[in-house]
Amino acid sequence: MDFECLHYSLGLAAGNGLTLRSEHRAHLLPSATESMIADVALAAQGRFTGDPSQEYEHTEMRIKGEGDDATEEEVKVNEASRLATTVSNIDKDASVVPRGAFTKSPCGNMQTNRSFGGLDPVEAVKLCNYLHLRELVNLKKKSILEMSHLNPAIDSLDPLSEDVPKGSWSLQLEGGGTVCILHSLLWLGLTFFHVPQTPQHGHIYMGDRLMNLDLPFML
């Protein structure tokens, strides 16, 4: 890897693109905001076209200000915004880490657990030992009694076993039982792996970028 490629890769990994040249920075995805996600949900339908400048339009009636006066408002989003929203949604729904790979600091920040040596082979085949790397959703709804058996340092993320609907994940052993493989049935094409008794884990997504809305009827 030459210096040019290294500089480019570091800029992409940093996620902000501030160190990149303008022609490289133009190819970075925009950050997905709440308003962007809402607009994409309204306007974008069907499969991706592959053209970042492709625009999706949607017209709806919205009430603005006081009174009952309704006005038509046209929502427009391009494919680059739709892709950024899709990547954000996939990360929220299917970014996975083994239990113990991250710890919660006394300040409340999530950080990499440098002493993580991997899950035990017996524990590695249990779905509850794989966690969502995202802000808490389900754990916030639990009572103190339900959380009494949890370790606050490593059990501060939502386990996959509590995803709705049940059966959203497929867990199996490959390579003669040496590798645990997780497949997301909500985002078809997302695969996670973990090698028990080692810190090795990761995931990759190779799909059509469409959420499997038929999942509840398939289970």
Q: What is the pTM of this model?
A: 0.76
Residues 21-25: contacts with CB under 8 Å, at least 24 apart:
none
| Structural Rg of the chain based on CA atoms | 21
8 Å CB contact between 156 and 136: yes
Residue 29 exposure: Cα atoms within 13 Å on the Cβ side: 17
Interior angle at CA 130, CA 129 and CA 134, nearest 5: 135
Work out the pLDDT band at 1, boundaries 50, 70, 90: very low
- Determine the Cα–Cα distance for residues 191 and 204; give it in Å rounded to an integer: 6
Each residue's pLDDT tens digit, 147-157: 667 777 788 88
Per cent of the chain over pLDDT 70 is: 76
Number of CB atoms found within 10 A of residue 208's CB: 11
Q: Looking only at Cα atoms, what is the longest distance across the chain?
A: 67
Task: Say which range, 80-84, 92-96, 138-142, 172-176, has the weakest mean pLDDT.
Answer: 138-142
Residue 163 exposure: Cα atoms within 13 Å on the Cβ side: 24
Each residue's pLDDT tens digit, 40-67: 888 888 888 888 778 887 766 666 655 5
Helices then strands, counting H and E runs in the chain, come out as: 5, 10
Each residue's pLDDT tens digit, 20-34: 565 555 567 778 888
State yes or no: pLDDT of 122 exceeds 80. Answer: yes
Q: At 205, give phi and psi (nearest 5°).
A: -120, 125
User: Quick one: residue 151, left, alpha or beta (phi over 0 = left, psi -120 to 50 = alpha)?
Assistant: beta
Cβ burial, residue 16 (10 Å; 0-12/13-18/19+): exposed
**What is the pairing mode between strands 70-78 and 55-63?**
antiparallel
